[in-house]
Amino acid sequence: MSLLTPLRRLVRRHFGFSRAETNGFAVLLLLLLALLAAPLYLRPALPRYAPAADRRQLDAVAAELAAQRPTTASRFPSSRFPKRPRYAAVEQVALSPFDPNTLDETGWQARGLPHYLAQRLVRYGSAIGGFKAKEQLRKAYGFEEHYARLAPYIQLPDQLPPRTAKTYASRYPARGSDSARFASSRFPRKPKNLAAFDLNTADTTQLMQIRGIGRRMAARVIEHRERLGGFLAVNQTGEIYSLRDAPDLVDSLRKYTFVRAGFEPAPLNINGGTFEDLYPHPYVGKRLARIIVAYRAQHGPFKQAADLRQIRLLDDETYQKLLPYLRF
């Protein structure tokens, strides 16, 4: 009995193969094992590596590169990067009272300061116009560690003298009277007691006398007045775009301006005006002006103010504002 007989019986019993199938399975298994083992026996033998030749070649390349590499002196010439000069040692002197404004760099070094700090103190003193107190030296960068040693010998007061408050008169010298002094300044002072004036005849100079009203704001008030045809009430200034969020300025205008009783504003030519004539009015605008011109072309001129109520776009609030400016 061969060694494969028990294996054949096991295969036949487990898989239910016939005798011929079992023999074929055994042959196929042997072929698979042979194929797996074939690369181990058929692989060609690799040549043995000898590193000596490669090492010699690498050493030759490294030597050639080292010979071609420039030296540090050739890459960085001394004219481009000069060496820092070495300062000669300064002979030290015995400490005695001295004025720091009379010392140069050598004088500071003779009192134990390094050259860079002595140079810094000389530059600092010339920049501030001379030291006036010890606290200026104490605040100098790098001088803190030398201050306690040299402070008793520095002939300066400890603190700077207190500053004297400059009066307005010293900054703006009077020229004969207070009015001349304020008139010569760049921003003249607003008058405290301002008499009320007519809003419809005022110019920019009068409006600028009110606190908070500048040149631009005064120009906008006058521009709105011209487009409106005249103010019927001071409260109409609150309709100006720049004054809508400034109720304090509107109150100032209400306080110092007035509208003359019986004032007749410039009439708005509702029947003869073109689109360009109507839309600049603050209560008309482009949309309403376009509809007025179209309605007038279709139905004829307006005979009375009530005819404008036929325009649905015109609300009651705008109609009441526009009514005093209409003439038929």
At 47-104, the pLDDT tens digits run 777 788 888 888 888 888 888 876 655 555 555 555 555 667 888 989 899 999 999 9
Q: What digits encode the pLDDT tens for the residues 22-51?
A: 788 778 888 998 888 888 778 777 677 778
Question: Residue 6 is encoded by which pair of tokens?
Answer: 């028990």
Q: How far is CA 328 from CA 4, 130, 236, 308, in A?
A: 132, 84, 24, 12
Kindly tell me if the per-residue pLDDT of 317 is higher than 80. yes
- Say which range, 38-52, 182-196, 212-226, 300-314, has the weakest mean pLDDT: 182-196
3-state secondary structure of 268: strand
Alpha-carbon distance 298 to 296, whole Å? 5
- For residues 140 and 121, is the Cβ–Cβ distance under 8 A? yes
- pLDDT value, residue 182: 46
Domain positions in the chain are 102-153, 197-325
| pTM reported for the whole predicted model | 0.44
3-state secondary structure of 242: helix
- For helices 19-42 and 4-15, angle between their N-to-C axes, nearest 10 degrees: 120
Q: How many CB atoms lie within 10 A of CB 205?
A: 9
Q: What digits encode the pLDDT tens for the residues 234-269?
A: 999 999 988 888 888 889 898 999 999 999 999 998
- pLDDT value, residue 21: 81
Alpha-carbon Rg for the chain in angstroms: 53
- pLDDT value, residue 180: 47
**95-105 core/surface letters (b: 16 or more CB in 10 A; e: else):** eeebebeebeb
CA 95, 96, 100, 105 dihedral sign is: negative
- pLDDT value, residue 62: 87
- pLDDT value, residue 218: 92
* Portion of the chain with pLDDT greater than 70, in percent: 84
Report which secondary-structure segment, H or E, holds 258: strand 257-258
Kindly tell me if the per-residue pLDDT of 280 is higher than 90. yes
Mean predicted lDDT score pLDDT of the chain: 83
Q: For residues 208 and 188, which has the higher predicted lDDT (pLDDT)? A: 208
Kindly tell me if the per-residue pLDDT of 184 is higher than 50. no
Q: How far is CA 187 from CA 145, 208, 215, 223, in A?
A: 50, 11, 12, 24
- pLDDT value, residue 87: 65
Q: For residues 82 and 126, which has the higher predicted lDDT (pLDDT)? A: 126
Q: How far is CA 55 from CA 50, 59, 144, 195, in A?
A: 10, 6, 62, 107
- pLDDT value, residue 274: 92
What would the mean pLDDT of 124-133 be, rounded to a whole number? 88
Kindly tell me if the per-residue pLDDT of 173 is higher than 70. no
End-to-end C-alpha distance for the chain, whole angstroms: 140
Question: Residue 172 is encoded by which pair of tokens?
Answer: 């703006």
Q: How many CB atoms lie within 10 A of CB 259?
A: 17
- For residues 110 and 150, is the Cβ–Cβ distance under 8 A? no
What would the mean pLDDT of 175-194 be, rounded to a whole number? 58
What would the mean pLDDT of 111-133 be, rounded to a whole number? 89
